[in-house]
Amino acid sequence: MSNAFSSSFHLLSPSITVDHSNVISPAFKISTPSNFAASTGPPSAGPSTWRTAYTSDFPTTAGPSRRSLNLKKRTAEEQQIMAKTNARFASRLVTDHALVLYPDADTPFRDTADVVNRLLPYHVFKQPKEDLDLLIKGDKGKGKATEEDLKNEIKETKFALECHKRRDALEARFRKIKVRSGMRPAPDEQTVLLASLALDAERSDTTLLMNELRTARAELERREKEKRITSNTARMGYYGSAPSAATPSVPPQYYRSYPYGYTQVYGTPMHSSSTSTFSVSSAPTPAQYAPTQSAIPVQLPVASLPALHALGIVPIPAASIPPDGQQPPAVLRGSTSNGTMLSLEINVSLLQSAQMSGLAMVLNSLMSRNSSGSTPDPLAVPSTLPSNDGQTTT
């Protein structure tokens, strides 16, 4: 707006006098339109002569301008206020032009107010660059393009500065690495090469040791497998020579109570008058029952029956076994005189894997319990034990 006024106002009287009291002599007259003349009143900065006619080189359209359309929408009072404001602004601008064109360069400044009054009119020379570009180049979007170019240039400059900083940091880091490498007793390349060679040698030695260990383990497994096969063959031969099922009674020495659950037969049972016998049930054993080759005689306390029942192993008396039916997993052969120990025969071939594992846990618990005791129960241990030469000792 200031540019429009500065370009449209032309001073007609160059010979004017300006005093330092900011009062213009009444030698100037302002030529204004009729609607401005009635509303301006006496000018506060002194009269002046100026023209409102403005000739532009740009082509104009015949249609109504946007400014005229906006004025039609305002009321008469608003238009009058706008006219007065424009007139006052034009008057002050003309006064500032006169003070700038004909300054008082001979008289020194008197005080601060005089400095402000004499220097303030020079604001007319402070024209925004956008307004000047608009008058020179026109409203073709070139100014906006120039701003975008400046923004892109600033952005690229910042990026270049950041890259330069990163490059300096990398150079400093590389220089420090080279300095540390030079302070070592050997170059880094040779150190890395020697370390890799030593690592390869250790890796080859480890591979050889692993191969030897694998071979030794295979040999150990083969020998253990041969031992298991030999022991299984001896056990099958022993159970194949078990006493016949037609025996009317069980020898007293067949069941022996030891601190561990499994009983072993050391030889042919021998009768002696000084041995203690077990009280066997009076019911006769049927001749149809014959213990299988996998039947193992076991003596267990009565307190272990709930554990056997939980595993699904229910001892059945020998008298209750059907003659033609399937043999049960456990057969009750008898008990001791006081009823605390039971004589059982466990058919291992009829047990499942879970039952065998549970039975092994029960027997292991009994073994640990008996081994922790100081003195075994005399009722649970027979008074005769076989010696190494096959003779019975009391």
Q: Give the tens place of pLDDT for each residue, 18-72.
A: 444 443 433 333 333 333 333 344 434 443 444 333 444 444 444 455 555 555 6
Q: Give the tens place of pLDDT for each residue, 47-59.
A: 344 433 344 444 4
Which ranges in the chain belong to alpha helices (H)?
2-8, 34-40, 66-72, 76-101, 112-119, 129-137, 142-183, 188-240, 305-310, 353-372
pLDDT the model gives residue 259? 47
Residue 265's pLDDT band (cuts 50, 70, 90): very low
Q: What is the mean pLDDT of residues 272-289?
A: 45
Read off φ and ψ for residue 297, nearest 5 degrees: -75, 135
Residue 358 or 269, more confident: 358
Up-side HSE of residue 183: CA atoms within 13 Å toward CB? Answer: 6
Q: What is the mean pLDDT of residues 168-185?
A: 92
Four-residue CA torsion sign, 215, 217, 218, 220: positive
Q: Is 341 helix (H, G, I), strand (E, B) or coil?
A: strand
pTM flag (> 0.75):
no
For residue 285 the two structure tokens come to: 């054993």
Q: How far is CA 368 from the centre of its chain?
A: 50
Read off φ and ψ for residue 130, nearest 5 degrees: -65, -40
pLDDT the model gives residue 101? 92
Question: Average model confidence (pLDDT) for the chain?
Answer: 69
CA distance 62 to 138: 20
Q: What is the mean pLDDT of residues 121-137?
A: 78
Q: Is 77 helix (H, G, I), strand (E, B) or coil?
A: helix
Tell me how far CA of residue 272 lies from CA of 247, 252, 266, 379, in angstroms: 19, 10, 16, 19
Cα angle: 254, vertex 294, 233; to 5 degrees: 100
